[in-house]
Homo-oligomer: A and B are copies of this chain.
């Protein structure tokens, strides 16, 4: 965790890092995306803005359902949208909500959905005033498993036991 940033510079961790301007813009776009939120049940609006490896920005919002567990979070909407447009490599995702006193954090389901596309990219947990905390997917989902853990060889090894 990079600690709270309220407009001040953050220490840039690696070459994949976004410039301050790109970060600001990504957060702004997550706030814009929030306005599309379909949340008649919770009234809890969430937006997300995803930056792909080629610097495209793809946005999503939460889409609730009368059967609550069939709804979708903003982050998963943005990522599935990106995949459907041919992107599978991501630099960062910013998440926005209306909670003023709390950095909005991704749920465990979204962390796993992010992790499918790598562990070493950034998640910006933000407040409406655009301050943020930056964490990697790996920091948000330690001791995780992903595609490489379900490779054919491993599955075959299990199947051969039966």
Residue of B41, B99, B143, B149 touching A135 (CB-CB under 8 A): B143
Give the shortest distance, in Å, between A74 (CB) and chain B (any CB): 8
CA–CA, A99 and B161, complex, Å = 11
State the copy count for this chain.
Answer: 4
Interface residues on A, range: 35 or more
A161: B residues at CB distance < 8 A? 98
Would you call B43 and A63 a contact (CB within 8 A)? no
A125–B112 touching, CB < 8 Å:
no
Q: How far is the CB of A128 from chain B (nearest CB, A)?
A: 10
A33 CB contacts on chain B under 8 angstroms: 84
One digit per residue, 1 when the CB lies within 8 angstroms of any chain B CB and 0 when it does not, for chain A 38-79 equals 101111100000000000000111011111111111101111
Task: Please give the distance in Å from A64's CB to the nearest CB on chain B.
Answer: 7
5 additional A-B residue pairs with CB within 8 Å, beyond A64-B68, A70-B108, A72-B76? A64-B116, A67-B108, A67-B145, A70-B109, A135-B142
